[in-house]
Structure 1
Amino acid sequence: MKVGVELEYWVVDETGQLTPADELLDAHECVAPEFVDSLLEIQVPPVETTEDLRREIHCILTSVLGAANQQGKHLVPLGTPLTAHGLPIITERGHLLERLYGDELRYAKHCAGTHVHFDKGRVTEQLNLLTALDPALALVNSSPYYDGERVASSARASVYRLGAHSRFSRYRDLWVYVDDVAEWNARIKTEYKVLRAIAHETGIDEEAFAEYFHPENAVLTPVRLREQSPTVEWRAPDTALPSQLVQLVGDVAALLSQVEDKDLAIGDPGIWTDRIGIPAFARLQKLSASAIVDGLNSQEVRTYLTTMGFDLSQYQPLSEQIQADEMISIQEARKLRLEYADRLESDVAQLQEEPPESSTIAGEAEAVE
C-alpha cells in the first residue's frame, strides 16, 4: 500500500502575524497554494514505508523552512490561526465557494488539516474503516481556539463540520457507513446535483461550476473516494508536528491494510485474527463528538482507540499543551504561533534522526485472539 500525505501550514512573519505564503510557493515543487493567502500545502509524494515518509517530509520541509527563514517567515503547525482573521481568497474555486457558502465559508477559511491518500484496495471496507477511525483525530488535535475563543480540543474539526448551516454541513460532516461503492457513488451524484442547484440559485455560471467542481471534490467530508488519484482519502486530522503525523499515518495504514484479508464487522470494536470490529454508526458519532470536544481527555475515546490498536503513549496532542483559558488575545496568539513554529523546525530536524519502526507503512497491528 502506498500512502500520500498533504500537510497544511500557516505562514507568519517574525512577529507571529499571518502573512502571505506566495513567496514560498517556489521553495519546492511539492509546495502548493491553498485558497487563502496565509496557508500553504505540502504535497508529499506516495511512499511505501514510514522511513520514506519521514525522509520525504524532512527533505521538503527543510527546503521550505530554509526559504522561509531567508524571508523572515515561519510555518505554524496549528489547526487554526487561534484568533479571528479576514483572510483573502486567492483562487477562482475559492471565490466560487464563497459565493456558494456565503458567510459560512469563514469556517473553512480558518482551518488547517492533514489529508492522507491510501491506495485503493477493498474500497468499501476502506471507506467504512476510515469512517470508524474518525475518533483517531484526537491523537493529533492541535488547536483549541477559534476566533480567539476556546471551542474544543479540535477547534478546526468543530467549526469545519458543525459551523455551517445544515444545508452545507452534509458536505463536511462524517457520512454513515456504506454497503458498497455503488451506494457511495450514488450519494456523491445526489450531493453534486444539489450543489449544482445551489450554484444556479446564487447565479454561478454552469460552465464555471463544471470547471471547478466535480462529483469527487464537491464534498469535503472526513472520508472521500477519489477516482482520479485513485485513492481513498482520510481528511479527519488537524495539521500537527510532522513526527506526530508520521506516527498516525503509519498506525492507520497498518489497520487499513488488514481489511484486505479480514472481514469488517459492525458491532463490538476490536481487532481479531479473522476480523476487525467497528461500532454502530450512532455510537461512532458520539465517540467522534467526544474526540473533537475533549480529545484524549475523554476516557471513552481513549478506551476506543486502545481497543482499535493505537498506543496512546506515542501521542501528545498539541491542544493539550496549549493554555486552556476561555479567551486568547492577539498578542498571546502571535506568541504561540512563533513558539510552535520553533517546535516545527526542531521536529523537522529530528525526523532524520528517528529510526523507522517498521519496514512498511502498512505493518500489521496487534490482533486479539
Structure 2
Amino acid sequence: MYTLSVGIELELWVVDETGRLCDGTEITQAHQRIEPEFIDPLIEVKTEPHTSERSLRRELQSILQTAILAAEGASKRLVPLGTPLTTSDAAPNCERGRVFETIYGSGVESAKNCAGAHIHFGQDEIVDQLNLLTALDPALALVSSSSYYAGTHGANSSRALAYRTDCGDDFRCYMDLCEYEDSLADWRDRVDEKYRLFKRLAADKGVSPDTVEELFAPEDTVLNPVRLRECQPTVEWRAPDATLPSQILQLATDVENLVSRTRTTSVEFGEPAIGEDRIRVPEFERLRDLSWQAIESGLDSAEVGSYLRELGFDTSAYEPLSSKLHGPYQLSNSEARTRRLQQAGRLQADVQNLTTEESKYTMFPA
C-alpha cells in the first residue's frame, strides 16, 4: 500500500451573534494552527500533513473545536461558505495585503469575498500530480458552497467564478486554471515568467521590485487552482470552496486515492477513464468546458456528473451547500446574516460528528 501525505487548509468567515462579518483576532490567538487571512473577517485552519485519514480527521476536528470555543467565548461564530453571500469591504490587515491591494486595485475585491479549501499532497511524480489535479478541477462541483456573490444569485460556485474572472484581464493568469505541463522545468519557467510580469504590473502601480521581492516569493504570486509549493514541499489543490469539514475530508480522501496512483500509473490524455496502468484525462479545451459547467451548474450538469463518476467519484456521497442556499435573486444584508448563522450551526454539528464513526477510517485508500 502506498499513501501520500495529505494536509488541509480551510478558510472560514467570522461573524458576530447577529451574523455580521467581524474581526477574528481572538480565534487566531487560540491555536498555533489557526491563522489570520489578509482581511479581519477571514481566518484559516491548517493541519499538519497526515498519511492516515483517521489522524487527519482527529487533528482537523481538534483545531476546529478550539476555534469554535474561542469564537463562542468572544460571542462570535464561524461560517463555512465560499463567499460571505453579500459583500465584505474589510481593509487589508497586513503590509503584504496592502501591497497586494495596491497592485491589483479593484481586482482585489474578489479575493476579499472568497473563501476556499486547499488540499496539500506530498510531492512524488510531480508533473503527473500537477496534471491530474488540473484535470480534477470539475470536482469543485462536489463541494460548491455558495451560489451568491455580492448579494446576487449566480453560479453554483460563485466563489470560483468571481475569483477566476473578477480580478481583471492583467491578473487572470494568476487566478484561472492553467494548462497541463510537459515538464517540471516548464512549470518553473512559467512561474518565473509570471513573477517577472507581476513585478512590471507592480511597478506600474508604484510598487518597487525590492518591495515585491521582500513580500512575495515567485510561488506566492501564483494563486491558480493548482500550484507547486517548493517550500513545503507539496502540490497544492486550491479548486474547492470552503465548506463543511466532513465534505472536505471526503474530497481529500477521494482525490488522494487518485493522486497516489500516479506513482505507478501514467497520466495520459484522451477519453476519461481509469485503467490498471493509466489514468486518461481530457484534453485541456474539453476540460475547460467541463470546469465552467461545474462552476455554473455544479452537479446539475449531467456531463460533469458523468465525468466525475468516470474518474471514480461517488457523487451521491456529497451534499454541496450551494444546493441548500435557496433564496431570492437579490439577497438583502438581513437575509445574508440569517443564512450565515444557519451555516455556523451546521458547521458546529459537523465538527462534533467528524470522528463519530472513527473505526472505519484507517489509512488513505490505496
TM-score (norm 2): 0.98
Please state if 1:342 is matched with 2:345: yes
Is the CA contact (8 Å cut-off) linking 1:141 and 1:295 kept in structure 2? yes
Aligned counterpart, 1:185: 188
| TM-aligned CA distance change 1:356 to 1:222, over 3 Å | farther
Aligned counterpart, 2:9: 6
1:189 aligns to what SS in structure 2?
helix
Aligned counterpart, 1:47: 50
Q: Give, as a single letter, the amino acid of the residue that structure 2 aligns with 1:342.
A: G
Counterpart Cα distance in 2 of 1:104 and 1:249: 30
Please state if 1:109 is matched with 2:112: yes
Aligned counterpart, 1:120: 123
Please state if 1:278 is matched with 2:281: yes
1:351 aligns to what SS in structure 2?
coil
Counterpart Cα distance in 1 of 2:268 and 2:135: 11
TM-score (norm 1): 0.97
Aligned counterpart, 1:164: 167
Please state if 1:242 is matched with 2:242: no
Aligned counterpart, 2:332: 329
List aligned pairs for 1:1-369, cutoff 5 A: 1-355=4-358, 357-361=360-364, 363-364=365-366
Question: What is the aligned-residue identity percentage?
Answer: 46
1:46 aligns to what SS in structure 2?
coil
Counterpart Cα distance in 2 of 1:244 and 1:4: 14
Q: Give, as a single letter, the amino acid of the residue that structure 2 aligns with 1:52.
A: S
What is the alpha-carbon root mean square deviation over aligned residues? 0.9
- Runs of 4+ aligned structure 1 residues displaced above 2 Å come to 354-359
Q: Give, as a single letter, the amino acid of the residue that structure 2 aligns with 1:142.
A: S
Counterpart Cα distance in 2 of 1:138 and 1:177: 20
Counterpart Cα distance in 2 of 1:356 and 1:142: 28
2:45 aligns to what SS in structure 1?
strand
Counterpart Cα distance in 2 of 1:267 and 1:192: 32
Counterpart Cα distance in 2 of 1:151 and 1:93: 31
Give 5+ residue unaligned stretches, structure 1.
365-369
1:294 aligns to what SS in structure 2?
helix
Counterpart Cα distance in 2 of 1:197 and 1:205: 9
Deviation at 1:356, TM superposition (A): 5.3
Is the CA contact (8 Å cut-off) linking 2:88 and 2:112 kept in structure 1? no
Q: How many residues align structurally?
A: 363
Counterpart Cα distance in 1 of 2:87 and 2:229: 32
Is the CA contact (8 Å cut-off) linking 1:151 and 1:158 kept in structure 2? no
Counterpart Cα distance in 2 of 1:206 and 1:293: 38
Deviation at 1:70, TM superposition (A): 1.3
